[in-house]
Amino acid sequence: MKILRTLGVIAAGMMALSVANAAQAETRVTLKSAKAASSYYQMAAQFAEAMKTGTDGDIIVTVEESQGSVQNVMEAMVRPGNYVFTSPPGLVSLAQNGKGPFDGRPTEKFAEVRALFPIPSLTMHFVMRADSGATSFADLEGKTILLGKGSFGAREGEKYLQLFGLEGKVDLADAELSNAVAALKNGQIDGFVTAGSWPAPNVIEAAAGTDVIVLSLSEDQLAETKRDKTVIPAGTYNGQEEDITTASLSVVAFATTQMDADTAYALTKTFWEQKAKMGESSSWWNGVSPEMLANITGKMHPGALRYYDEVGFSIRDDQR
């Protein structure tokens, strides 16, 4: 009996040691994303699954809901270790310079933020019924446009109308963006404005049953917006015969210098290697390309740089 008890104790000890070793082998990462109902939260969940698959479970990513990018950046001051968050690069720049919502915050904490890789951008779409006759922004005068309320797309759309001399010259529909496709199909509006990763689901839905045109921005108009340039390839939407040039707000996955180089390298490498597979189930990943690295301001994480140098992606000196 004593021998059996001894063997039992040894077996239990070996099992506990095995579990402990497995736990030590796992690298755990926290990803602060967006509101649970948003597309960016869905992207974070897809990335977490891809990371688990691509590393055979060596890296486990836990996704946390967020109220927005400002909160994500704020928490970079206090979150230890493997903290990853998504944000437009411009917001990180504001934090590092103590401006905007970060006025009065200790900038030295934000100085430790480093970029990993781009994720799908918030891309502007000005969607018009083909029979409205509008093929450029100048043609929007007198048209009825739905901007929505309170969203990034609504604010940007209103800003662009002001920039392009259309303030007060366009009839703005008093409705939520969720009603845009139905209103467009019913002829209640001539067009709507939406921002999101492309291909945008509501634009796909609109183009599926109605002849639509997505307006392109000229180079001068693009410069006025002070946003990044995005080209949506021909054929992305039903009936789209030419590329669409539009403005976008880049969104990037960031970490801090508290993350070690090997972990940052593994996250970055696995992201790019799993991107095509993620794109098979969610096409917004197909819009992410190495060229989008040029839109990242500030420094890259040394671990990410190691990967980019290995594969030959172009990185500027000021990003190193």
Dig out the tokens for 228 from the structure. Answer: 């990044």
Could you report the per-residue pLDDT of 146-170, keeping only the tens digit for each? 998 777 888 889 999 999 999 999 9
Which tops the pLDDT comparison, 1 or 174?
Answer: 174
pLDDT value at residue 1: 52
Query: Considering all CA atoms of the chain, what is the largest pairwise distance in Å, rounded to the nearest integer?
Result: 93
- Residues 189-209: tens digit of each pLDDT: 999 998 888 888 889 999 998
Dihedrals phi, psi of 239, to nearest 5 degrees: 85, 0
For the entire predicted model, the pTM comes to: 0.77
The string of pLDDT tens digits covering residues 16-42 is 444 344 445 689 999 999 888 678 888
Buried residues in 117-137 as b, exposed as e (16+ CB within 10 A): bbbbbbbbbbbbbeebebeeb
Residue 208 phi/psi, 5-degree rounding, is -70, -30
Considering only CA atoms, give the Rg of the chain: 23
List phi, psi (to 5°) of 147.
-100, -25
What mean pLDDT, rounded, does the chain reach?
A: 89
Token pair belonging to 76: 């970079």
Q: How far apart (Å, rounded) are the C-alpha atoms in residues 154 and 149? A: 6
Tokens of 127: 């969607």
- Tokens coding 225: 């917006």
pLDDT cut 70: percent of the chain above it: 92
